């Protein structure tokens, strides 16, 4: 069948055979199918979806385009974690040391930030000396000694997904449940962990905007896991507001250290504990209540903090050299009221504009810049009170926009967002 026939078949809503999926996607990988034809097929998939068999086949094609990481030399159970990403999302850095301190191995390959969302690897690179490029052997060795390691995703893992993702990014074909599910799961399966916990984000700052979509993708990703004999658990969590109190690379590392020192208590902390408990439950095969109790203990006793520091040191990082910018600017509120909303997307963009992210793949990040939020959902604010502090590259940073507009105020003290207890 020609590529045009395959595109037409999907455009009319029919199921593609295994052979047709291979022809189209492997053909694209070999450079035989041009971008415009693959874009048309992706758009037809966005419009008409894929059935489970098609999603399994596509995931398989992505996995087989690269290498599978062999973690058989790692002693004990390995549990991986993936978050569909967001603003101020530092959950991996909190969850992994907690889980590793409780005897479950966490092999974590992470990505860099793109657009308004941050990436774990950029956050870790704000620590001078930190190596994100351990060899496979070093990665496995650290898993056996420290219990967890966080490295940059290697180029050999599902490389065809990377190519297709880059095309989706510029053709309006990112937001498709079968395409997102096969993209994420191909990388998770190729990464080799025994079990996987997925943090599926829903809301304004997330890829998935409705709970129905989040439920559907969770179901599908579990099915893909089952197909490969992997136990997968998911949590649907909320991504309308920035997670935690800091946005920006070095600032977020400092926030992680505070959380692991048991000095914070907010939605991010609750979310991280819940994710960690799920990973411990899966990894040790114990009831969730017992897993939650151990997670609390790990933070209270300082074990999780020590584990975090052990990982940083083992990967060459010098935490004493971590720096945030010395130039700060307090942002006063131009309105009075009760905060009922904060626009995660706008805060992510602001951090990007301050130099904390990349606008093109070649941009260099300034790890010292970012935002510290002083007011949160549910707080009452008077005109002139400080909403947040910007850490800027230089003194006298001027903003054209009023950041007060990133907040939604209510005159009444009504319910703070009900979805803050989504999980
Ligand atoms: N993250 C991925 O890795 N792939 C997608 O398609 C969406 C989010």
Pairwise CA distance, residues 324 & 232, whole Å: 38
Q: pTM (2 decimals)?
A: 0.91
- Residue nearest atom 2 of ligand 1, based on CA coordinates: 184
- In the prediction, which pLDDT does 50 show? 98
Name the residue of 84, 160, 191 whose CB sits within 8 Å of the most ligand 1 atoms, as the mutation to test its pocket. 84
Q: Which atom belonging to ligand 1 lies closest to the Cα atom of 168? A: 6
Pairwise CA distance, residues 50 & 168, whole Å: 16
Best CA proximity match to 392, nearest among 422, 358, 350: 350
Pairwise CA distance, residues 134 & 175, whole Å: 32
* Any ligand 1 atom below 6 A from CB of 183: yes
Residue-wise pLDDT tens for the chain (423 aa)?
899 999 999 999 999 999 999 999 999 999 999 999 999 999 999 999 999 999 999 999 999 999 999 999 999 999 999 988 778 889 999 999 999 999 999 999 998 876 777 789 999 999 999 999 999 999 999 999 999 999 998 889 999 999 998 899 889 898 899 999 999 999 999 999 999 999 999 987 788 889 999 999 999 999 999 999 999 999 999 888 889 999 999 999 999 999 999 999 999 999 999 999 999 999 999 999 999 999 999 999 999 999 999 999 999 999 999 999 999 999 999 999 999 999 988 998 899 999 998 877 678 899 999 999 999 999 999 999 999 999 999 888 888 889 999 999 998 776 555 444 455
Best CA proximity match to 143, nearest among 212, 70, 211, 86: 70
Q: Which atom belonging to ligand 1 lies closest to the Cα atom of 111? A: 3
Per DSSP, the three-state class of 193 is coil
Question: Between vectors from CA 54 to CA 53 and to CA 55, what angle results, nearest 5°?
Answer: 90
Q: Which atom belonging to ligand 1 lies closest to the Cα atom of 183? A: 4
* Any ligand 1 atom below 6 A from CB of 148: no
* Chain center to CA of 131: 20
The residues annotated with a catalytic role in the active site are 82, 161, 168, 183, 187
How far, in Å, are 189, 350, 375, 388, 392 from residue 354 at the CA level? 36, 6, 20, 14, 6
- Residue nearest atom 5 of ligand 1, based on CA coordinates: 180
Pairwise CA distance, residues 147 & 37, whole Å: 45
For residue 64, how many other CB atoms are within 10 A of its CB? Answer: 16
* Any ligand 1 atom below 6 A from CB of 154: no
* Chain center to CA of 187: 13
CA terminus-to-terminus distance, the chain: 46
- In the prediction, which pLDDT does 132 show? 97
Q: Which atom belonging to ligand 1 lies closest to the Cα atom of 179? A: 6
Q: How many angstroms separate the alpha carbon of residue 300 from the centre of ligand 1?
A: 35
- In the prediction, which pLDDT does 416 show? 52
Bridge pairing between strands 195-202 and 79-83 = parallel
Q: Is the separation of the CB atoms in 376 and 264 below 8 Å?
A: no
Task: Give all strands (DSSP E) within 178-334, no chain letters.
Answer: 195-202, 231-238, 246-247, 327-332
* DSSP β-bridge partners for residue 120: none
């Amino acid at each position: 069948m020609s590529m045009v026939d395959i595109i037409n078949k999907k455009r009319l809503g029919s199921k593609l055979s295994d052979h047709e999926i291979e022809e189209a996607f492997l053909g694209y990988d070999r450079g035989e199918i041009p971008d415009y034809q693959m874009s048309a097929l992706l758009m037809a998939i966005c419009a008409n979806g894929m059935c489970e068999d098609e999603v399994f086949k596509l995931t398989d094609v992505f996995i087989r385009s690269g290498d599978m990481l062999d973690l058989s030399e790692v002693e004990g159970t390995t549990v991986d974690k993936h978050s569909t990403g967001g603003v101020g999302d530092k959950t991996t850095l909190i969850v992994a040391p907690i889980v590793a301190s409780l005897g479950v191995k966490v092999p974590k390959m992470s990505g860099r930030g793109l657009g308004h969302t941050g990436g774990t690897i950029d956050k870790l690179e704000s620590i001078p000396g930190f190596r994100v490029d351990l060899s496979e052997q070093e990665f496995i060795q650290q898993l056996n000694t420290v219990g967890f390691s966080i490295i940059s995703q290697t180029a050999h893992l599902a490389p065809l997904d990377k190519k297709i993702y880059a095309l989706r990014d510029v053709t309006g074909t990112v937001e498709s449940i079968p395409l997102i599910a096969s993209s994420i799961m191909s990388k998770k399966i190729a990464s080799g962990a025994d079990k996987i916990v997925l943090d599926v984000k829903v809301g304004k700052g997330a890829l998935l905007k409705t709970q129905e979509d989040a439920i559907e993708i969770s179901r599908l990703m579990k099915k893909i896991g089952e197909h490969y004999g992997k136990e997968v658990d998911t949590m649907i969590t909320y991504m309308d507001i920035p997670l935690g109190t800091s946005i920006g690379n070095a600032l977020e590392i400092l926030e992680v250290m505070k959380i692991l020192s048991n000095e914070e208590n907010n939605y991010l902390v609750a979310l991280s504990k819940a994710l960690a408990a799920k990973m411990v439950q899966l990894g040790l095969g114990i009831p969730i209540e017992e897993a939650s109790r151990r997670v609390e203990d790990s933070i209270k006793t300082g074990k999780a903090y020590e584990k975090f520091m052990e990982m940083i040191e083992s990967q060459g990082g010098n935490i004493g050299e971590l720096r945030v910018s010395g130039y700060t600017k307090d942002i006063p509120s131009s309105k009075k009221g009760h905060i009922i909303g904060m626009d995660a997307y706008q805060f992510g963009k602001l951090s990007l504009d301050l130099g904390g992210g990349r606008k093109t793949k070649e941009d260099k990040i300034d790890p010292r810049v970012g935002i510290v939020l002083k007011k949160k959902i549910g707080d009452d604010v008077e005109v002139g009170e400080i909403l947040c502090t910007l850490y800027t590259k230089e003194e006298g940073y001027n903003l054209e926009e009023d950041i007060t507009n990133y907040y939604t105020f209510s005159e009444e003290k009504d319910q703070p967002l009900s979805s803050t207890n989504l999980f």
